[in-house]
Structure 1
Amino acid sequence: MRLLRTEDDGWYVSIFSNEHNHPLSESREETRQWHSHSEIDPFLKDFVNNLRENNMSLNKVYNILNVTHGECTGAPFRKENLRYLCSRLAQDSISEDMRKTARLLDDMKAADPYLSVRVATDDEGSPKFILWCTGKNRQDYVYFGDVVTFDTTYRTNLYNMPFGIFVGVNNHYQSTIFGGVLMREETIVGFEWAFKNFVEVMNGKHPVTMLTDQCKSMEGAIKSTLPHTRHRWCKWHVLKCAKEHLGYAYSKKSGFKYEFHKIIDEIIDVSEFEESWSKLLDKYNLSQNKYLNALYSNREKWAKPYFSSVFCAGMTSTQRSESAITS
């Protein structure tokens, strides 16, 4: 069919053919390219939604649909159609999850009048950060909040949002949770918001010591929001990163691992540490190693001699935060 304009800005059919003038699409691969084949029936939508709720990736979902429709023909629609459907399902799920979160916090507030919740939203009104501390968290912090470990290793599976948790120990050396925070970004601004609001909820009490991993954003946020708090690196992360950066020395140079761990675990005198560190680098020809030089420049955050007068409540690692999440 061909349409042309009339002089009075109307339309008229100039050519019309009542017979097909192009080859028909014969294969499934051809027909599913047409917009008429882009619709996904309600049964398949429910099936896809169930797969996505069980954290199936888009590629895996599409492969499953191809198998269920037969290896020769495959799914009757394109992958782009499935991607669009999944994005719509995700938006619906986010809206519903946020409503559930709001209801859950309201229920918690009703049961615990001392619960404190802080929320920061973006320009569209969606939550960027959510921090909460229960009445018991706040009470425990009064007595045991001098030393806090903070870790964001855990991420929720669906939204990939880092979950940070503030943890300490009580007088029986048992792990004690002080609060939790969901974050959409691990930036200096994000951590500044988390630390600032955490301290405000805790009536302005700053930790004496705070243990984290070697995250630069956390370090910057601690400097700006907790200037009187002593920042310490988690020893476990230091050893883990050292093994990753010094794999050759760990595995091939006999004695290096033993001497390196001895410096970290046993030496408590500053001058002895400095001398032993220098001898270790000279002995194993590692004086120009960039990682060890960077580690040495930050020795006040992890080396024992520099914490002899700093209260750490016997903690050297953030693994209490990690274990508190999974327990």
Structure 2
Amino acid sequence: MPFGLFVGVNNHFQSVLYAGVLMRDETEDTFKWIFDEFVKMMAGKKPITILTDQARAMEKAIEEVYPESTHRWCKWHVLKKAKENLGAHYTKKSDFRAEFHKLVHEMLTIDEFEDGWAALLDKYSLKTNPYLVQIYETRQKWAKPYFAGKFCARQTSTGRSESANHMLKQYVPPSCSMNLFVKQYNKLQFDREQEEGFQEKCTRLSHAVLKVNTSLEVHASKIYTRKMFEIFGGIMYESGM
């Protein structure tokens, strides 16, 4: 079960901790235990913001253990459920999908969001759609304008911890013993270090090819591996820099 915990260290600096937890027993009591242990690890410091999927057991545990923390839903999960529940309205080429994403990603004020939401549902005759009615009632947990001024480290999705979970599951089989888990985790670490070493070697042996020779590109060529620099260069080129 993935979730992100955003923790303020002091008034001038804030850090982010992601926790990807593999659990058999995803109950309210289990989540309470995890959240309590997290506070102990952080010397009593509770998170400012918690980013999760829409698991009800986790939500109830957060309300009890971290009542003063801001609880947000993962934007990716909201959009995933939109795709599952809206059918033909949510195809890649549909105008509704583009306008819905604009509401989710670009609205900056509550008034903009509320007006846009009402206009969208009216335009496509979806005022009584069960899914849209349900997520509108819980908009304070996922709509961008309702989190103005809340520290979220510019994160809106638990994607990073889910990616880590996916990677770990490729090495660790379900219901494995503890000694097998440790063995496979060490193998994961070894493989990752081998791949990093390979990329660093490729970077040393072949110099980055500069396309525009700007100071930003020169700096990126010095700090990125060759593969990462190629990705960066493509993005920079598409941006017109």
Q: Say whether the fold is shared (TM-score over 0.5).
A: yes
Match of 1:248 in 2: 88
Match of 1:297 in 2: 137
**Structure number having the greater strand percentage:** 1
| 2:4–2:50 CA contact under 8 A, matched in 1 | no
Give the Cα separation in 1 of the matches to 2:107 and 2:21.
36
Change in CA separation of 1:278 and 1:180 when aligned onto 2, cut-off 3 Å: closer
Q: Which runs of 4+ in 1 moved over 6 A?
A: none
Change in CA separation of 1:302 and 1:180 when aligned onto 2, cut-off 3 Å: closer
Q: Extract unaligned runs of 5+ from structure 2.
A: 8-14, 168-191, 193-241
Match of 1:18 in 2: none
Backbone CA RMSD of aligned residues: 2.6
Q: Do residues 192 (structure 1) and 16 (structure 2) align?
A: no
CA deviation after TM superposition for structure 1 residue 179, in Å: 5.5
| 2:20–2:161 CA contact under 8 A, matched in 1 | no
Give the Cα separation in 2 of the matches to 1:253 and 1:279.
20
Q: Which amino acid aligns with 1:287?
A: K
- The equivalent position to 2:76 in structure 1, one of 213, 232, 236, is 236
Give the Cα separation in 1 of the matches to 2:106 and 2:3.
30
CA deviation after TM superposition for structure 1 residue 322, in Å: 1.6
Q: Which amino acid aligns with 1:211?
A: L
CA deviation after TM superposition for structure 1 residue 319, in Å: 0.6
CA deviation after TM superposition for structure 1 residue 289, in Å: 0.9
Change in CA separation of 1:259 and 1:210 when aligned onto 2, cut-off 3 Å: same
| 1:211–1:232 CA contact under 8 A, matched in 2 | yes
CA deviation after TM superposition for structure 1 residue 248, in Å: 2.1
Match of 2:113 in 1: 273
CA deviation after TM superposition for structure 1 residue 228, in Å: 1.0
Q: Which amino acid aligns with 2:32?
A: E
Match of 1:284 in 2: 124
CA deviation after TM superposition for structure 1 residue 198, in Å: 1.4
| 1:235–1:316 CA contact under 8 A, matched in 2 | yes
Secondary structure of the 2:33 match is helix
Give the Cα separation in 2 of the matches to 1:183 and 1:265.
32
Match of 2:103 in 1: 263
Larger radius of gyration between Structure 1 and Structure 2: 1
TM-score calculated relative to the size of structure 2: 0.61
- The equivalent position to 2:62 in structure 1, one of 222, 225, 238, is 222
TM-score calculated relative to the size of structure 1: 0.45
Identity %: 54
Q: Which amino acid aligns with 1:317?
A: S
Give the Cα separation in 1 of the matches to 2:89 and 2:19.
40
| 1:273–1:305 CA contact under 8 A, matched in 2 | yes
Question: Could you list the per-position Cα deviations for residues 64-110 of structure 1 after superposition, in whole angstroms to 9, with x for gaps in the alignment?
Answer: xxxxxxxxxxxxxxxxxxxxxxxxxxxxxxxxxxxxxxxxxxxxxxx
How many residues are paired up?
Answer: 161
Give the Cα separation in 2 of the matches to 1:213 and 1:240.
11
Change in CA separation of 1:226 and 1:275 when aligned onto 2, cut-off 3 Å: same
Give the Cα separation in 2 of the matches to 1:294 and 1:183.
28
Higher relative contact order (CA 8 A, sep 6+): 2
Q: Which amino acid aligns with 2:144?
A: K
| 1:209–1:312 CA contact under 8 A, matched in 2 | yes
| 1:165–1:177 CA contact under 8 A, matched in 2 | no
Match of 2:41 in 1: 201
Secondary structure of the 2:91 match is helix
Secondary structure of the 1:246 match is helix
**Structure number having the greater helix percentage:** 2
Question: Could you list the per-position Cα deviations for residues 98-142 of structure 1 after superposition, in whole angstroms to 9, with x for gaps in the alignment?
Answer: xxxxxxxxxxxxxxxxxxxxxxxxxxxxxxxxxxxxxxxxxxxxx
Change in CA separation of 1:253 and 1:284 when aligned onto 2, cut-off 3 Å: farther
Give the Cα separation in 1 of the matches to 2:82 and 2:3.
25
